[in-house]
Structure 1
Amino acid sequence: WLQAGVMVEGQVQRTVAGAPQGGVISPLLANIYLHTLDRELTERGVGTLVRYADDGVVLCRSEQQARAALAALAAVEDLLGGLGLQLHPGKTRVVDLCEGREGFDFLGCHFRARMSGRLWEQKRIVRYYLHRWPSQKAMKRLREKVRDRTGRNRVGVDVRIVIDELNPILRGWGNYFGTGNAADKFIQIDRYVTWRLRRLQIKKRGRNLRAGQADQWTRHWFKEQGLHQLMGTIRYPKAA
């Protein structure tokens, strides 16, 4: 696994050190190495560790407990150093989730508390629930993928072929984020994809573009050409 190498633009390149990002062996190695961290934090009894591979969040009930967890992480850093690991200084911090004051990114999602508008409108009860939606980085990465496939070099490509290339990307992204509170973000992506495709169509016509022709290239028109759209695909959990 460690000597399998990576594929770069169709060419296999050998890796010098470490496991390739995204490789199936990477999470297993992370679990083996970070089992020490799991055990230490459990024994110290500071919060609840939620970890996936090398990304983790320690959930605490109070600021005091959070500070204790941060101190515990600092205490085990020497232990991690012996394994050739270190905590990310930019990500290791205390976040106050009360009343939506702050949020944090984890596994591509942004987590933040939001007040229930329905409870406030119906019963004047103030209650916050933890929401999650695609992080700014996740949104940016998706836009970059869409932009790469709708650039100037694609002017000569039939729009249906471009749509066929976009659909797996949009569908996979939507499946990953489709169980959270991502409705607004999904609408933003739909609008961006429509704008990029419409722009591509306008460039394709060039000086031959007729007056009012661009008005036909709407969200619904691209849907008729087979474009997978995210709006309306959110899956909400059913009541128990």
Structure 2
Amino acid sequence: MLGVKGDCRGCASFDFVVLCKQDVEEPLKVVRHVLERLGLSLNETKTHRVDAKQASFNFLGFTIQMSQGARTGKPYPNVRPADKSLKKIKARLTELTARNLTAIPLEDVVGRMNRSLRGWANYFHYRNSSQIMGKARQHAEDRLRTHLLKRYKVKNRKAALIRFPRRDLYEQYGLYKVPTVAGWNSAHPSVSRASESRVR
């Protein structure tokens, strides 16, 4: 599978990917023709050709690459949240659980964490996302536990693990549990909306 990641001139932002089995020249001609009819032009400097069997590429926060099934040996499109997307949610959770926030109500801290986690998970909960989702969930647990450690002046992390076990983080403190099994396998409305918003 060959991927052509394009960017066009003449509008605010219009990113797209064209997937081809082999040759990319003919599809590119079609793309250029369609864009010209719309009064747009392909930004050649930002357009990349990628052999997805050999390398990955990022699009709308996802990393896409052809992989081989461990059991069947058949190729399949491996679509997962990009490393940058994981770093962003982890940084956001760290910001929302900072030491200087121990003075505000705990419900507000957890509520803000949950809003960020839900929004992120709803968008990236797709196909081969289990491993990345698991990392996001673990970071959320670690950050809330660290916040509780500081808030209640628990002496160390070992003591915090005993006082604030995983089950209590969810049942007592109300932390949103990030799902780790992909909930949808086809194009999600949120992706379509994201694409549309970038075209306008």
Q: Same fold (TM over 0.5)?
A: yes
What's the counterpart of residue 115 of structure 1? 68
Residue of structure 1 equivalent to 2:106: 159
TM-score (norm 2): 0.71
3-state SS of 1:133 partner: strand
Residue in 2 aligned with 1:235?
183
Work out whether 1:93 is the aligned partner of 2:48: yes
Q: Which has the larger radius of gyration?
A: 1
In structure 2, how many angstroms separate the alpha carbons of the residues matched to 1:220 and 1:170? 18
Task: Tell me the residue number matched to 1:57.
Answer: 17
> Pick from 24, 44, 57: which aligns with 1:66?
24
Contact in 2 for aligned 1:114/1:128 (Cα 8 Å): yes
Match of residue 178 from structure 1: 125
The answer to whether structure 1 residue 103 and structure 2 residue 27 are counterparts is no
Q: CA RMSD in A?
A: 3.3
Aligned-residue sequence identity (percent) comes to 25
Any conservation in 1 of the 2:121–2:179 contact (CA below 8 Å)?
no
Separation (CA, whole Å) in 1 of partners of 2:164 and 2:29: 57
Count of residues paired in the alignment: 173
Letter in structure 2 aligned against 1:110? T
User: Which residue does the alignment assign to 1:38?
Assistant: none
Check the 8 A contact 1:190/1:229 in 2, yes or no. Answer: yes
Instruction: Provide the rounded CA distance (Å) in 2 between the counterparts of 1:117 and 1:236.
Output: 21
- 1:144 Cα offset (Å): 2.2
State whether structure 2 residue 152 is matched by structure 1 residue 205: yes
**2:127–2:185 CA contact under 8 A, matched in 1:** no
Q: Secondary structure at the match of 1:94?
A: strand
With a CA cutoff of 8 Å and minimum separation of 6, indicate the structure with the bigger relative contact order. Answer: 2
